[in-house]
Amino acid sequence: DVKVTQSSRYLVKRTGEKVFLECVQDMDHENMFWYRQDPGLGLRLIYFSYDVKMKEKGDIPEGYSVSREKKERFSLILESASTSQTSMYLCASSSPGVGDTQYFGPGTRLTVL
């Protein structure tokens, strides 16, 4: 079974703090994704990565950056957290040739005070 884990289920941070969200997958998937999910807005893609050290902006990259130093790990960084970044963050991974099926982690609910 594919397993995607995220470093925290719940996280509370203060405005201006630097926040790291970690995602690890154990299936040697090439592709990894970060989404945020907000009521009424569905899932919105923040960043994705096709390979180690490769990254591409998604639909809402502003205020975020990512790092992929190892194939299994994809980190989302909030350089200076703001209250507007309070959300559910979901990580996913996939492999080419499997119909783009994505496997999701359990999510991190981030609250910025």
Partner 1 sequence: SQQGEEDPQALSIQEGENATMNCSYKTSINNLQWYRQNSGRGLVHLILIRSNEREKHSGRLRVTLDTSKKSSSLLITASRAADTASYFCATGNNQGGKLIFGQGTELSVKP
Q: Tell whether residue 43 is a contact of partner 1 (CB under 8 A).
A: yes
Q: Show Cβ contacts of residue 41 under 8 Å, excluding neighbours closer than 6 positions.
A: none
Q: Tell whether residue 26 is a contact of partner 1 (CB under 8 A).
A: no
Q: Tell whether residue 28 is a contact of partner 1 (CB under 8 A).
A: no
Tokens found for residue 79? 């350089």
Q: Tell whether residue 94 is a contact of partner 1 (CB under 8 A).
A: yes
What is the residue-wise DSSP string for 94-110?
Answer: E-TTTTT--EE---EEE
Give the interface with partner 1 as residue ranges (CB under 8 A): 4, 30-31, 33, 35, 40-43, 45, 48, 50, 56, 59, 88, 90, 92, 94, 96, 99-107, 109
